Structure 1
Amino acid sequence: MFRTIVHTFGPPDEVVVDEAYEPPVPGPGQVRIRMLLASINPSDLVTISGAYRSRTPLPFVPGFEGVGVVESVGAGVPELLVGQRVLPLGSAGAWQDMKVTEERWCFPVPPDFTDQQAAMGYINPLSAWMMVRQYAPVPPAPVAVNAATSAIGQMIIRMLNRVGVRPIALVRRPDSQEQLMGQLGVLAVLCTSEVGLRRRLHELSGGRGLAVAWDAVGGTEGDELARALGPGGTLVHYGLLSGTPLSPRLRDECPEARIVLFRLRDWVHTTERHTLQRALNEVFQLVRDGTAASKVAGFPLSAIRQALECEATSGREGKVLLSMSSDAKITQFEPCSRYTSSSIAVSAECTNS
């Protein structure tokens, strides 16, 4: 068997290594899962870098999201589970051939889902759905979404469109502006490198300031979004793509703003299984209808270095998937052009957009 592993925190392309291993036999209440596909998410990368050292014992196998098939079960687990496709949530360990985890954290994959849909059907769709459901204002209140070309940024925009909200999309590269305007229901697309960004946000909000802003970047860009909020506005901070936290002075600078730190993990680990299953059922439907769809680039697990380089490529759209099995099906393929030679061969039936 083959797995990736992290022995020391640091830059992912430097500290993620691969090795052969013998997967353990599942104990009481556990299952052993033959992994098919796994996603590379920002939450994986920040964990590898050491952002959560206090709750991440070394060494560890990365990967919080993926899909696999139950291969064997431990005592107290129904044999009927063997052969079922599941999402093993609640812990890292998806970037390996076999993952052993507790049966209570395994959720069934809908039979109509492709492996690709299942491998991306948890973290981004559920996060976007929860953040829009909880914080979307009544239209036409002005809102903004940064990192708007990212997979989750585009999901948030599409979900906002479903409730009648056309957000201001913020991007880092000027060449993304025309593309987003043509694909999504946005009020405007602004480049964060433009001079006078806060002034433009003020103008587009009709002088009221933003009612809500979704921030996946943090650092100075997240700070600027917070300062662009109107009285009583909300900053939903859910990512740290810049690698820099929000300013600790923001709450003093923006005393009338509400700054929300959204962490999917906190909710998942404190809610009951039936509630989590209902939420997954909701987002699975959004995956089916394309609201929570993503483009993908795929790599075999043995090409983990190339996959991580692709993940870090400026301007990359969609998700990077790792394949552990030739049985895994990727029905759509948008490779990073630099890495097509090492990418996974895929089906020609590209039906999802």
Structure 2
Amino acid sequence: MAELTRRALVHDRHGPPEEVLELRSEPLPPPDAGEVLLEVEAAAINPADLGRINGSYGTLARLPAVAGLEGVGRVVAIGPGVGQLKPGNRVRVPGDRGAWCDRLVCSADDLLMVPESLPVEQAAMAFVNPPTAWRLLHDFVALQPGDWVVQNAGNSAVGQLVIQLARIKGWKSISLVRRPEAADALRAVGADVVLLDDDEAVAAVRDRTGKKPPRLALNSVGGPSAFRLTRMLAPEGCHVTFGGMARDPAPFPTRHLIFNDISLRGFWLTRWMQTASRTGIRELFTTLFPLIESGRLKVAVEAVYPLEDYRTALKRAFSPGRRGKVLFRPAARS
């Protein structure tokens, strides 16, 4: 195989992405025994990527590191001893190797095959938010048809997927948002109730749910918003935190924890993936892929950029008011 180079968004230290990220061309060795060479088709930009770059995330890559936790690519070449994969196969890009690049070499072990029927941008976004939404709705409360789920940040990618999955399963969703103009987009994807995330929301939720208040609350904001969610829950309800966008501590009402027997839990998809069996992981994606293929689960796309425009892409990905995800299309070169 001829000598290869690749382009990658790399950081040698932790800090703000606009200060520490650099687009580099570097040599890439051919795949060794048990390895494959991948070309990246598309890679998503997620809040977790920001945490990995600035050093605030739960796990950090060894530096220097290629950024990006989520993407989809194709096998270009295989090393000796690789039997299950062949050139042309579409696979998940392993996040621990960095997805914001045009090529990478990685172990063939546990690479997840991705159906050709998935649109490339949806395929690139299939491995963080959809499984997070699924696990949040299935791992903490045995929801029954007609049960209510309440969440803040309803217009986030996970929030919209929670709405879609709840509709599929026959559960009802209440989504709290900071901006009134976000409501129409959430109703379009199936939200039953959309409310402003303010002090009036607690009474509004009680009015809408009557004698059947939510049994599950999903918090990705923190601060006063997390407090309000706890007050909305039914006795023996469960409050699950999986994000902290407000970067404020989450105070909880002691009265509700004691007298309503509210459970406080946390969820991190990375830990679930680390502890789940290979069979469990494959079964999860075997369930999710057909829903994505059919369009019943869909993440909106705000914009797509080449790697060269990474500064613009990152600014847009984390700007307020955006209506979807921002992705990279690396466009690997010969």
1:350 corresponds in structure 2 to none
2:330 to 311, 314, 324: 324
CA distance in 2, matches of 1:211, 1:118: 32
Contact kept, 8 Å, 2:103 with 2:332, in 1: the verdict is no
Query: Which range moved further: 207-216 or 277-286?
Result: 207-216
The yes-or-no answer on 1:236 pairing with 2:240 is yes
The yes-or-no answer on 1:85 pairing with 2:85 is no
TM-score by length of 1: 0.83
- The count of aligned residue pairs is 324
Change (3 A) 1:251 1:6: farther
Q: Secondary structure at the match of 1:313?
A: coil
Shift of 1:326: 6.9
1:21-32, aligned counterparts within 5 Å?
21-32=26-37
2:78 corresponds in structure 1 to 73
The yes-or-no answer on 1:97 pairing with 2:102 is yes
Shift of 1:213: 1.0
CA distance in 1, matches of 2:102, 2:287: 29
Contact kept, 8 Å, 1:151 with 1:317, in 2: the verdict is no
2:206 corresponds in structure 1 to 202
1:343 corresponds in structure 2 to none
1:344 corresponds in structure 2 to none
Structure 1 segments of 4 or more deviating over 4 A?
Answer: 249-253
CA distance in 1, matches of 2:310, 2:95: 22
1:34-183, aligned counterparts within 5 Å?
34-52=39-57, 55-78=60-83, 80-89=85-94, 91-134=96-139, 135=141, 137-181=143-187, 183=188
Letter in 2 for 1:121: A
Change (3 A) 1:51 1:92: farther
1:246 to 228, 245, 250: 250
Contact kept, 8 Å, 1:10 with 1:50, in 2: the verdict is yes
Contact kept, 8 Å, 1:251 with 1:257, in 2: the verdict is no
Letter in 1 for 2:257: C
Shift of 1:317: 1.7
Unaligned runs of 5+ in 1: 328-353
Which string of whole-angstrom CA distances, capped at 9 and with x for unpartnered residues, describes residues 68-113 of structure 1? 1112233322385223221123524000111222211311121222
Change (3 A) 1:91 1:257: same
Q: Secondary structure at the match of 1:144?
A: strand
Contact kept, 8 Å, 2:219 with 2:243, in 1: the verdict is yes
Query: Which range moved further: 301-310 or 263-272?
Result: 263-272
